[in-house]
Chain A
Amino acid sequence: EVQLLESGGDLVQPGGSLRLSCAASGITFTNSAMTWVRQAPGKGLEWVSTIDKSGSRTYYADSVKGRFTISRDDSKNTLYLQMDSLRVEDTALYYCAKPSLGAMRFQYWGQGTLLSVSS
């Protein structure tokens, strides 16, 4: 059974930093690109970032480029999202999701971890 378990969400002040984690099981993590998608309260889904299976290529939404960094630790089957210079508009539930092989559609999702940015 595939499980994606996010953690690290918290209440942070504007300008602060936080790192989210996503622990994966039931998949061959080293063969998997991975993605973060977020959902602001009462809003729709927004793609945030993707990392390829090797970790050598990363992609970001314009809204987070230069502030967020996606990374992975294959020895721990864990995906990370380092978030710096946080803004109120970054407040959201952050999901990690596993794309299908060769296509950026998402069969597997975690349950999300909540980031609140507020003073």
Chain B
Amino acid sequence: EIVMTQSPATLSVSPGERATLSCRASQSVGGDLSWYQQKPGQAPRLLIYGTSTRATGVPARFSGSGSGTEFTLTISSLQSEDFAVYYCQQYNNWPPITFGQGTRLEIK
């Protein structure tokens, strides 16, 4: 099983600033890495797939990078609606499909 580890668990950032979230895989997942955003009381929303491709309707301030075992989600200028929990997910080697434990992005 590929274990996905996200850091930090909680990130405090001021609106307008840049946020950088990390995700590490226990073994290579190639480029098969997705990011999801989840707000309270809502289902997850796909943001990024294939490491760096934005899903339909996702603003350009969201970007993904990395390869192999190290991945990053960057939000270039935080808006109020971006404060949420973010999960990475690998789909390179499954079953099982595995998610990271999440990073909570909170307002500083």
Asked whether B68 is an interface residue with its Cβ less than 8 Å from the other chain, the reply is no
A105/B96 in contact, CB under 8 A: no
CB distance from A108 to the nearest CB of B (A): 8
Known contacts: A104-B91, A112-B43. The answer to whether A47 contacts B55 by CB under 8 A is no
B49/A47 in contact, CB under 8 A: no
Q: Which listed residue, A47, A105, A106, A109, touches B98 by the CB 8 Å rule?
A: A47
CB distance from B93 to the nearest CB of A (A): 10
Interface centre among B97, B99, B102 (most CB of A within 10 A): B97
Asked whether B15 is an interface residue with its Cβ less than 8 Å from the other chain, the reply is no
Known contacts: A47-B96, A59-B94. The answer to whether A109 contacts B43 by CB under 8 A is yes
Known contacts: A44-B87, A44-B100, A44-B101. The answer to whether A61 contacts B32 by CB under 8 A is no
Asked whether B46 is an interface residue with its Cβ less than 8 Å from the other chain, the reply is yes
Chain A residues whose CB sits within 8 angstroms of the CB of B102 once the complex forms: 44-45
The complex places the Cα of A95 from the Cα of B97 at a distance, in Å, of: 15
The complex places the Cα of A114 from the Cα of B89 at a distance, in Å, of: 23
- In A98-118, the 8 Å CB interface with B consists of 100, 103-107, 109-112
The complex places the Cα of A60 from the Cα of B97 at a distance, in Å, of: 10
B97/A109 in contact, CB under 8 A: no
CB distance from A95 to the nearest CB of B (A): 6
Asked whether A1 is an interface residue with its Cβ less than 8 Å from the other chain, the reply is no
Q: Which listed residue, A35, A45, A95, touches B87 by the CB 8 Å rule?
A: A45
Asked whether A50 is an interface residue with its Cβ less than 8 Å from the other chain, the reply is yes
Among residues of A, the one whose C-beta sits closest to the C-beta of B102 is A44
Chain A residues whose CB sits within 8 angstroms of the CB of B8 once the complex forms: none
User: Could you give 6 example pairs across A and B, Cβ below 8 Å?
Assistant: A35-B97, A47-B94, A47-B96, A95-B44, A106-B34, A112-B43
- Residues of chain B whose beta carbon lies under 8 Å from any beta carbon of chain A: 32, 34, 36, 38, 42-46, 49-50, 55-56, 87, 89, 91, 94-102
